[in-house]
Structures are given as structure tokens and as C-alpha cells.
Structure 1
């Protein structure tokens, strides 16, 4: 027996189904719009990705070419550096012969005191060794001699270095410092030519001079060191020039190499940025592709669902409308059925129909709706029970079924006609 609650519950089920179908249709329309909007975005992303790939390929070729150039110049710089180092080592090997003597001479000069100089200056009678040393020092320091009478006699005048030495050398407080700071790399050639006989003189030896004056023996060692250094420097000079030229060439090559290395780094940085952009572009393209695929799959499933339930939509709509009518008529139909059970059981079906029609008119006047075609069986009967009666070989005509429902629903003995 249908009630307002059961009727409305069943109606709401159909309404919910219709609402879901409507929402699904709206989602399908929305997804179609989204899918159409994704297509141009995906196309643009594909074009951008392809353009980035082409740019990276071009920039990578440029970077590889620059890298090859830089690699070749690095090898050239390494070769030039090796050449310069070789020349430098050769110079150092040559100078190693003169350095010890020079260092010893410097040490001897560093021990030269003001008292030693005063002692030398105060000498009245110069030993031959001291005289030789002072002459050599004057030549080294470019102090010119003076002409004096030959002590050996005669009218011929000879060069005397002692007087100038006392005045221009020993009389100067910076004399030891001048010796230490002597420009040994720019020694005049003509002065060195004059020095060679002194250095070759067997009496011009520091050990022999030491017997006459320890201070002067230090000057002797210094002169010998300068001569040795000059001799070595003559050999080393071309190598020094070669080293200077090699160093300048190396510095120039290194400078040019740094410029190219900086240019290479710029290209590599650009390639790295482009590769990062490419990764981002691939991700963007992948995201758009995934969204498109997901949207297409969802759209396909929704379309299949709507297509499968397309016929049900009309039926569900009709059922919802029918159930609404039933819901609206439940009160009136129950009132009619309630009158049928106690009052119409003894009458024929024709009389029952006329009585129900009159009652229905009165209900409508009281604004109580009921079914236009009232069916007692549909109002109080249950389809399962009626089917069981039919299976049990009971009469299955409408009049008999109505009577059976009256017996089932009545609380007393109703008046009825036994068929």
C-alpha cells in the first residue's frame, strides 16, 4: 500500500538520478570546453619545446666549437709556459755559479764597519794588494784616477786611484750601501774589460789581501764576485731576453685565453639556462598532456554513462511525475478506499464505480485531490500478495481481487457479495 512517505522516497530516488544525469551533462559540457581550451595550449607548448630544442642544439654546437678553440689555446699556453719555465731554469742554473760568490761578498760587505773604512782611509803606505783592490773598486764605481808622478822615478805621469778613492769612496758614508746596491746587471762593458786583468792577477786574491787588511779582503771578494757574475750574466743575457719574450708571449696568450674562457663560460651558462628552461617546458607540456588525457578519459566515461542512461532519463522523468501525482492523490485515494471497505462490499462493481465517482466529486469540491480513475486494488493492494493469490489458483478478476483486499484490510466483517 503506497504511503506519502514511501511515495516521496521513491520519487526522490528518481529525482536524484535525474539530478546526477543533469550534473554529469553539465560536467561533460565543462570538460569539453576545458579540452578545447587545452588543445591550443598544448600546441603552443609543443612549438616552444621544439624551438628550445633547436636553440639548445645550436648553442651546444657553438659551445663545443668554443671549447675546442679554448682547449687548443690551453695546450699552446701550457707549451709556452713549459718553454718559459725551461728558460728560467736554465738561467737559474747558469746563475747558480755566481750566486754563492756573490752571497759571500755581500756577507763580507755587511760586516764592513765605519771603523774598517776609517782604517783603510788612514793607511799611509799602501800594500800592493790593497792598492790593486782600491784601483779595481774605483773602476767598478766609475771613479776616475788622477795623474801623478811615477813613484818609481822619471817624468812620466801615472794613474793614481788612491787619492780619488779616499775622497770619493772612503769619504762617503754610503760607501758600503752603494756596494750592496750596485747595479750588477748593467755593468759597463769597457769597465769590465779593465777589470779582467785585475781578476786574473794572482796577487788579487782575498786570502792574500787578508794579510794586509781584512776589510779590503772583503772588497776583493766583492770585485771577484762582480766579475764572475758579469761573466755568467753575459751567457745568461740572451736567455733572459728570451725568457722576457717568452713571458710576454705567455702573458698575452693567457690573457687571450681568459677572454675565450670567459666567453665559453657565458655560452655554457646560457646552455645550462636553456636546458633548465627545456626541463620546465617538458614538464609544462607533460602536465598539459596529462590534463588533456585525463579530461578525455573522464569525458569518454561520462559520455558513455549519459549515452547508456539516455533512455532512462525520459522514463525517470515520467516516473517522477507519476509519483508526484500519486503523492498528491494519496490522501484522497485513502479516503475513497476507506469508504469502499465498510460501505461498498455488498455492491456490484458498477455500483461501486458510481459511488466512488460521486465521492471523488465531493472530495474535489473540498479541494482534496484523488486519482481521476480510482483503482481500489492499486491503492491498498500489494502486487506480491496478488501474484501469490493468482499462483494459488484463486480468481484473478478485478472484482474478486478487490473483495480479497477488503477482507484483508477490514477490521470487522464487511458486507460483500460472494461471487
Structure 2
């Protein structure tokens, strides 16, 4: 009986010591649970904020890329506008030249009958004459066409009617002299159906022309 009393007394002392600590533990645990719950809420809010920041960062990056793309497009467009302005200015000058060229072409078309007539006369009769006589012949034929009211270009030459500038340059590259007489002789060789008669004491122009032919 004495041992039981002593045990109950020891238990009461221990209970009075442990029970407040249990109560404090339970209160601390409850407080900890509340804190952990609050921490979880804050962590969830932080995750939402971080997700929003990531979304905003992606939007910002896209905006920056779009801005850079627009800047490149602006630079490209500005360069194109600058080139277009230069081209427009150049074409404006060309328009005047084209208008004059069209006017000249229309005039040439109107004079094609007389020009072709004089050119055929040159092919038929030019060969035996020197440069001065050829010039006089063209003047006489042109004046006669004007008297007969045949449209003809004043000052026309066989070179301007029957020759191609590119072909003449090719002849010169092949060795044909660049003087008017040599060019006319080359035209006589290449445009006539018969072998032309040409006076060439130095034997250089005719040789070149037959080489071309």
C-alpha cells in the first residue's frame, strides 16, 4: 500500500510537470500549423506572382522582338523610299529624254520613205566616189526629195539609216577604221546584193570590209 501511495505521489508530481508542457506543445503545434498554412498560402501567392512575372517577361520579350522587327522594317522602308526618290528623279529626267526620243522616232517614221529611197541610192551609186562626192550626192538627192515633197530627214546619212551602232562597234573591234568612209564601205558590202565597186588606193578599208562580209 505504501509503495502504491509513493507511486501515485510520483505520478502526480510528474503529471503536474508534464501536463503544462503538453499543453504548451499542443498550443505550439497549433500555432505551427497556422504558420505553415499561412506559409503555404504565401508560397501559392508567390508562385502565382512568379507565373505572372514569367508571362509578363514573355510578353516583354515578344514586344522587344516586334519592336526590333519594326525598326528593321522602318530602316528597310526608309532605304527603299530613298532609292525610290532617286529613281523617280532619274526617271523624271529620263521622261524628258524619252519624250524627245519618241518625238524623233515619230519624225523618222514620217520620213522613212525618203530616207530609204536615198539610202538605196547610196548603196547603188556610192562605191566609186570619195567622201566629199558622196556628201554632195546625198545633198542633191535630199534636196530633190524636198522639191518633190517626199518626206526625208535633212542631213541624213547611210550610216544613220542602214547601220546598227552595235554592229559598227563590232566592226571597229574587228579592225575596221573608225572614219566615215570606212563605215560606209562596210555598209555597202553587208547591205548590197551585189559586189560593190569601192575606190580604196591604200587597200585597207576594202580588205577589212570583205573580211567582215
With the shorter chain as reference, the TM-score category is 0.5 to 0.7
Structure 2 length-normalised TM: 0.58
Task: Tell me the residue number matched to 1:297.
Answer: 75
How far off its partner does 1:232 sit? 3.5
The whole-number CA distance in structure 2 between the counterparts of 1:267 and 1:343 is: 104
The whole-number CA distance in structure 1 between the counterparts of 2:102 and 2:7 is: 127
Structure 1: tracts of 5 or more residues without a match: 1-194, 200-223, 362-370
How far off its partner does 1:407 sit? 1.9
Structure 2: tracts of 5 or more residues without a match: 126-136, 199-213
CA RMSD after TM alignment: 4.5
The whole-number CA distance in structure 1 between the counterparts of 2:143 and 2:20 is: 137
1:260 is the counterpart of 2:41? no
- Any conservation in 2 of the 1:336–1:359 contact (CA below 8 Å)? yes
1:379 is the counterpart of 2:169? no
Task: Tell me the residue number matched to 1:410.
Answer: 192
The whole-number CA distance in structure 1 between the counterparts of 2:143 and 2:7 is: 150
Q: Which has the larger radius of gyration?
A: 1
Indicate how the Cα distance of structure 1 residues 337 and 351 shifts in structure 2: closer, same or farther if over 3 A, else same: closer
Secondary structure at 1:309 match in 2: helix
Structure 1 length-normalised TM: 0.33
- Any conservation in 1 of the 2:159–2:184 contact (CA below 8 Å)? no
How far off its partner does 1:257 sit? 0.1
User: What does residue range 337-376 of structure 1 map to in structure 2 within 5 Å?
Assistant: 338-343=116-121, 346=125, 347-352=137-142, 354-355=144-145, 358-360=149-151, 376=158
Of 272, 283, 286, the match for 2:61: 283
Secondary structure at 1:412 match in 2: coil
How far off its partner does 1:269 sit? 1.8
Indicate how the Cα distance of structure 1 residues 233 and 241 shifts in structure 2: closer, same or farther if over 3 A, else same: same
Task: Tell me the residue number matched to 2:23.
Answer: 245
How far off its partner does 1:228 sit? 6.5
1:271 is the counterpart of 2:49? yes
Q: Structure 1, residues 192-217: CA drift from partner, whole Å, max 9, x if none?
A: xxx43xx5xxxxxxxxxxxxxxxxxx
Task: Tell me the residue number matched to 2:92.
Answer: 314
How far off its partner does 1:319 sit? 5.5
How many residues end up aligned between the 2 structures?
178
The whole-number CA distance in structure 2 between the counterparts of 1:231 and 1:313 is: 119
Indicate how the Cα distance of structure 1 residues 349 and 373 shifts in structure 2: closer, same or farther if over 3 A, else same: closer
The whole-number CA distance in structure 1 between the counterparts of 2:105 and 2:14 is: 125
Q: Structure 1, residues 315-355: CA drift from partner, whole Å, max 9, x if none?
A: 4445655379859x77x84x665533433555442423553
How far off its partner does 1:272 sit? 0.1
How far off its partner does 1:283 sit? 0.9
The whole-number CA distance in structure 1 between the counterparts of 2:11 and 2:143 is: 147
User: What does residue range 64-103 of structure 1 map to in structure 2 within 5 Å?
Assistant: none
